[in-house]
Amino acid sequence: MGVPAFFRWLSRKYSSIIVHCVEEKGKECNGVRIPVDTTKPNPNEVEFDNLYLDMNGIIHPCTHPEDKPAPKNEDEMMVAIFEYIDRLFNIVRPRRVLYMAIDGVAPRAKMNQQRSRRFRASKEGVELVEEKNRMREEVIQRGGYLPPEEIKERFDSNCITPGTEFMDNLAQCLRYYVADRLSNDPGWRNVVVFLSDASVPGEGEHKIMDYIRRQRAQPNHDPNTHHCLCGADADLIMLGLATHEPNFTIIREEFKPNKPRPCALCGQIGHEIKDCQGVAREKQGQHDEFADSMPASEQEFIFIRLCVLREYLARELTMASLPFPFDFERSVDDWVFMCFFVGNDFLPHLPSLEIREGAIDRLVNIYKDVVHKTGGYLTENGYVNLERVEMIMQAVGVAEDNIFKKRKEDDESFKRRMKEKRKRAKQAERGPAYMTTGQFAPQALGRRDRPEAVQNARHQAFDMRMQSREQHNKDAAQSLKATMRNGGNSSAGPSDSSDSRGVKRKAEDSDSEPEPEDNVRLWEDGWKQRYYKTKFDVDVTDEDFRRKVVRSYVEGLCWVLRYYYQGCVSWKWYFPFHYAPFASDFKDIKGLFTEFEKGTKPFKPLEQLMGVFPAASGNFLPETWRSLMMSPDSSIIDFYPDDFAIDLNGKKYAWQGVALLPFVDERRLRAALADVYPDLTPEEVRRNSLGSDLLFLGKSHPLFDFIHELYRAESLEGTEIPAELCHGIQGTLNLDDDPILPDKAVTSPIPMLRDISQNSAIGVKYKDPHYAEDFVFKAVLLSGAKMPNKVLKPGDWERGNREPWRPQLGFNPNRQQAHLDQSGFRALGHNLNRNQHGRGQYSNAPPPGNYQQGYRPQHGGGHQPFQHSRQNSLLGAPPPFQQPQYPRPIVARCHLRQQQQQQYGGGGGGHGWDRASQSQQSAYQQNAVRGQGGAGSSSYQQRYDQRRDGWHERRDDHRDDRRDNRGQHHQSYSSSRSYPPPPPSRRYTWK
């Protein structure tokens, strides 16, 4: 769900929910790439059970990236998607389930937004081509240089829609990818993989939520399953809260604003197409070897810890002296519901509620004031109490007039500040009349380099006078040009003479951009009358129409909440207006909604394409279907306008406006398609049918033999999954028509990738557990669920935006960070050439020697370090030590510390190393026990706090063992897999 500014507001208000991912990187040895061993414990010091991928958030950046060159063809796109999934799997390392969900046919309420996005994308593409042609002509006429125009087919991102050949090919490629990883990657060996491709109806994130809901309702579900959901949409946060799972984490790309983008005309970075001057490209590198490369850094990932967000909400939503028992889980549901008023994919936000203006905080304050009068909560298990919601809306309606006036005041204040800022920037750019150089040049304080001595003082003074004279000549020329432009009336140059005061500046010289016309003027009296007349073309006195708009919006609120908590209750409902009513219009809404129509069915894939595609994307449809979009004689030609208006609706940018497109009439569409259905080929008929989820697993999984036996017996009926063989997962299995079977070669759909000759994976159709249509999924904590330890400290509540924010790496707040001490800085300063302009020799690289390759021990075997993307500091962090078993590590560590003390005559130098090593070993030991013991284990944070509190007790308990095992540290690490002991700390201190 695209809720603008929601994540920014959430991350600033509740900053501790964000944790930066620690990512282990693969190595390269003698030209051979060594992949990451994902069987080792997670470097983030937390173990995840299930990883869910909202695939559309992966497909779009891989097919048409914004910060790097786009793939040349479809095969490269598929490989980029594979690599993206590999990277996520490396970071999260799920131990039970990997669920990949691609957006299928969406509900009708979502199709309206999809239609708007695709029409916008088509219109913007046409406008970009026109602007490029116009700017190219202007630049060439001015004598500028532009590279020759490349003749290549533009990738139409509208093909990422169910029913297209691209999505069908993607499904085949993902089947191959899953089979390859299950056959060759040890980290996938015991993972169950679900693939829900575009033929399965439903949005990707809601297919994932439906899976979680149905598994939670099963008696064998593990209530302490740790979920991790990947996606960038803001609604994933609210969907995660709606599950009421205590261990739910979201992983997403870290947003970095103001990334440089190349000019669409000349391909250079640093300006937009409208500012292109046609300057020849500068040489990139000594031999121009970086000519086709873009300066882009690898995208980092962050975790959003919903358990920490629940801690924040528990403090914020807790209310005393209620006339009914306080239930935190119910208050979370109400908070999720109130967030719908500021925007979602299915309803426009109320005019008086903007996230940037603190709308959610306003709603929460009103909620806490009114809930004493409501007699209960606003929602229950996804069902809305409209009588109580009306009290909230009326309280917002009372403040609407003040909200609009305050919005105008803030907007005017912002414009004044920006105008002053631009004025200061111009003055700073102008600078003094001349700038001295050499010995007389101004020097920054604290710089160690010395200015060059003046060789000839007379020549230096002459240069300064000439520079001043040239500046005066430039000012005079600018003044003359301005006088000629203004007809000789007055001067408009840099002079401060009084003659220029009455001259009006031209538009291109203005400090501010032209503001869009706002005919509604919500900050003035009569705003409601103007709003309904301008937006709906009705008079405000038309009570029946206003009532109709409010009824549709109330239905939408009930539909959205039910969609989040119970699944899609109606595939055909949608909000039939472009604008929302006012909060003050929500009067007597208790009886406006009864129930949705039951038994509705989703569109078929090709039918949805007809509902969301513009005529420019008709090449993805059959020829006869395409003619319905373009032929003037078509009965539905009005659904596909060539151009349409965009109402900015008080916003500044076009992407924030409302696309005024006609709504598709389902009955007219189906009637028109009835005549062209017979023209479909067998391949198009297959793509137009609804599919099923697929389940894959490898030979080492306990469920493998059970599924293999189904294929041997050629079972034609659905078979229930034995819960004891698959971590409590239940559902129905059916044989696949084109299955992936063990010991049967899998052909690669991508020419650049090899076939899988020794396949050990098996695939089968999967269906979620079935429930009655009137079954209600309970929005509660499950019995046996153990809440994770508290993370927030007293200082975190008041921190907010008032203190500098420091990122946390991984889930362990006590992770030891590496940094240089004073001697390190002295050594670095000795090697840097400070008189050299630009960067020094080691300004962007680690020092040579052992540190660049990792911290190598003097005693013990060859420990192989790895590097984290977040820890590529000057020296890098010490490589954490992984150990599958933990028989007596404290003994070995203490023995190594004694050796280090004897060698260097001191102690304590390796405490940071020891604590990091101990934390990593203890974490993996506890997770190994958890994997054997089942659901009763506690979270990583609980185990860490228990280990820290009992540190001194365990140290005393092992004192005798330390004496007995002195000198036996190599033997104490014996296990089925040989791992060397942790290295000694030497004389360097890690702080």
Helices (H), 431-568: 457-485, 527-531, 543-565
SS3 586: coil
Taking CA 153 as the corner, what is the angle to CA 150 and CA 158, rounded to the nearest 5 degrees? 140
8 A C-beta contact, residue 164 and residue 609: yes
Is 676 within the bounds of a domain? yes
- Which residues fall within 8 angstroms of residue 142, CB to CB, at 6 or more apart? 277, 278
Instruction: State the Cα–Cα distance between residues 796 and 783, nearest whole angstrom.
Output: 30
Nearest to 120 by CA among 579, 644, 626, 580: 644
Instruction: State the Cα–Cα distance between residues 707 and 705, nearest whole angstrom.
Output: 6
Is 660 within the bounds of a domain? yes
| Bridge-based pairing state of the strands 248-253 and 227-230 | parallel
Region at 599 (left for phi over 0; alpha for psi -120 to 50; beta for the rest): left
Instruction: State the Cα–Cα distance between residues 59 and 646, nearest whole angstrom.
Output: 28
Is 629 within the bounds of a domain? yes
Is 609 within the bounds of a domain? yes
CATH of the domain at 655: 1.25.40
Q: Helix crossing, 911-933 with 940-949: angle to 10°?
A: 130
What is the tens place of the pLDDT at every residue in 419-430? 999 888 887 777
Residue where the block lists tokens 């149905």: 214
Maximum C-alpha span of the chain? 102
8 A C-beta contact, residue 661 and residue 640: no
Residue where the block lists tokens 């850094």: 297
Instruction: State the Cα–Cα distance between residues 948 and 950, nearest whole angstrom.
Output: 5
What are the b/e assignments for 559-583, b being 16+ CB within 10 Å? bbbbbbbbbbbbbebbbebbbbbbb
What is the tens place of the pLDDT at every residue in 606-651? 999 999 999 988 999 999 999 999 999 999 999 999 888 888 887 7
Nearest to 783 by CA among 249, 212, 224, 305: 224
Nearest to 338 by CA among 395, 271, 281: 395
Question: DSSP class of residue 672?
Answer: H
Nearest to 261 by CA among 270, 249, 251: 270
Is 678 within the bounds of a domain? yes
Is 649 within the bounds of a domain? yes
What is the tens place of the pLDDT at every residue in 214-270? 999 999 999 999 999 998 888 899 999 999 999 999 999 987 766 667 777 777 777
Residue 695's DSSP bridge partners are 194, 764
Is 620 within the bounds of a domain? yes
Which tokens go with 645? 């208006």
Structural domain count of the chain: 1
Instruction: State the Cα–Cα distance between residues 83 and 63, nearest whole angstrom.
Output: 12
Show the domain range for 660.
Answer: 605-687
Helices (H), 676-773: 682-687, 704-713
8 A C-beta contact, residue 111 and residue 574: yes
Question: DSSP class of residue 801?
Answer: T
Walk along the chain (991 residues) in steps of 10 and give the mean pLDDT of each run.
Answer: 74 90 88 89 93 95 84 92 95 96 95 91 84 82 73 79 94 96 94 96 95 94 95 90 95 79 72 73 54 61 94 90 90 94 88 90 92 89 93 92 92 92 81 63 62 72 76 74 62 40 42 67 90 90 91 95 94 94 92 87 94 92 93 93 86 80 93 93 93 95 94 90 92 93 94 93 95 92 92 73 63 70 74 47 41 40 42 38 41 43 40 40 46 43 50 46 42 39 42 37
Q: Which amino acid is at 167?
A: M
Nearest to 19 by CA among 1, 45, 37: 45
Cβ count near 734 (within 10 Å) = 16
Rounded mean pLDDT of the chain? Answer: 78
Question: DSSP class of residue 536?
Answer: I
Is 808 within the bounds of a domain? no
| pLDDT score at 635 | 93
Give the containing element (helix H, strand E) for 392.
helix 386-398
